[in-house]
Amino acid sequence: MGAGLGLILAATTGLADPIRVATFAAPLSRDGPGLLLRDILKGDDPGIAAIAAVIAHADPDILILTDFDYDADQVALAAFADLLAQSGAPYPHRFARAPNSVWMTDLDLDGDGRLGGAADRQGFGFFAGDNGMAVLSRLPIDTGASVDLSDVLWRDLAGATLPEDDFPSAEAQAVQRLSSSGHWIVRIAPLDDPPFDLLVYAATPPVFDGPEDLNGLRGRDELRLWTAVLDGAFGRVPDSFILAGNSNLDPVDGDGFAGAMADFLAAPRLQDPAPRSAGAALAPDPDHRGDPALDTADWPEGEPGNLRVSYVLPSVDWTVSGAGVFWPAPDDPAAVLLGDDGLAAGPHRLVWVDLRRE
């Protein structure tokens, strides 16, 4: 959008019109605590540089990052925001809460017969804070009015489908949270305009499990939690909202419950802007049935191939004035930001939607 400082000034008085909302599953997670901060501050990490360049190019007003390591003081997030500001994309408002990887259980949650593994945390993680999320915004965030649903137990979701035969144990299912990272309702509060909510999450991929389909079932119910929220099961019902994040579900292809994603996209309370890109259109998978132009992840053919897994879905009160996926065609000058192999900023692509209110 190229609004830069003008959008910050608009945020002090009201809602910039239109606004660009983006989600990006950029690989900003590391192998241990503090390593992301180290890599940001060193200033020589090519992946971080590519990610920052993509974000600055897309220039969203609100950005959801769905693979960002969490630390309690949000030092890494502040450092990354400083880097983006230096790149011409300032974000004065930020929001992050502890992902479920912070909470180690004393149980075997994945049935591997061992305790203390990455999958025995409430959310998969090799350390506390691994695989977190973050929101960066040029519009004010009302932290006090935001809601964290990350502690909802999986079994407490109405109609939840857990693995059969109490896998891996009844004790594990009694404490297992639903969110693999988190589910947040983040209140955006422009000073002179009505507030609206971001519904933010990042679901587990429907793989890396066994015949019990633990991750597949969990990922489907992570999506279904939003239906329960919109039905009023958790108190405040978002009126004007934008759902954004990585569902790890394609509505047509892939290993997950595609029908659940397709049904969700057809819900009358929201609209699907169907962001597209020229780059994805030029990289179809021969065994896929979905429109390749809608794909948001560049994965190896057949393993699982390119899929649409990241979404920005506004409620019906918003007017969509534009939408896209940053996946330029090879002959587009912007393709240089993704490197020679197209993976400089990771396999996921930034997804953006431009929105305005009447």
CATH of residue 63's domain is 3.60.10.10
SS3 223: helix
pLDDT given at position 14: 43
Question: Residue 61 in contact with residue 139, Cβ under 8 Å?
Answer: yes
Burial of 139 by CB count in 10 Å (0-12 exposed, 13-18 middle, 19+ buried)? buried
**Which positions ≥6 away from 170 have C-beta within 8 Å?**
none
pLDDT given at position 9: 37
Residue 323 sits at φ, ψ, to 5 deg, of -165, 150
Q: Which tokens in the block code for residue 201?
A: 């999450």
- Domain span including residue 302: 5-356
Interatomic CA distance for residues 202 and 133, integer angstroms: 8
pLDDT given at position 302: 81
pLDDT given at position 303: 83
* Residue 7 confidence class, pLDDT cut points 50, 70, 90: very low
pLDDT digits (tens, 9 = 90+) for 21-35: 999 999 999 999 999
Indicate whether 5 pLDDT > 60.
no
Interatomic CA distance for residues 209 and 218, integer angstroms: 11
* Residue 88 confidence class, pLDDT cut points 50, 70, 90: very high
Q: Which residues pair with 134 in a beta bridge?
A: 65
Q: Which tokens in the block code for residue 13?
A: 């008085």
pLDDT given at position 8: 40
Q: Which residue has the higher pLDDT, 65 or 235?
A: 65
Average pLDDT, the chain: 94
Average pLDDT over residues 7-17: 45
Burial of 45 by CB count in 10 Å (0-12 exposed, 13-18 middle, 19+ buried)? middle
Q: Which tokens in the block code for residue 283?
A: 């990289």
pLDDT given at position 150: 98
SS3 346: coil
Provide the edge-to-edge strand list for the sheet that holds 134-137: 93-95, 134-137, 62-65, 19-24, 351-356, 319-325
pLDDT given at position 192: 84
Burial of 51 by CB count in 10 Å (0-12 exposed, 13-18 middle, 19+ buried)? buried
Chain centroid, CA 140 distance in Å: 20
pLDDT given at position 15: 57
Indicate whether 3 pLDDT > 60.
no
pLDDT digits (tens, 9 = 90+) for 198-230: 999 999 999 999 999 999 999 999 999 999 999
Average pLDDT over residues 248-262: 97
pLDDT digits (tens, 9 = 90+) for 295-317: 999 999 888 999 999 999 999 99
* Residue 1 confidence class, pLDDT cut points 50, 70, 90: very low
Domain count, the chain: 1
Total residue length of the chain: 358
- The CA-based angle 269-180-171, given to 5 degrees, is 115
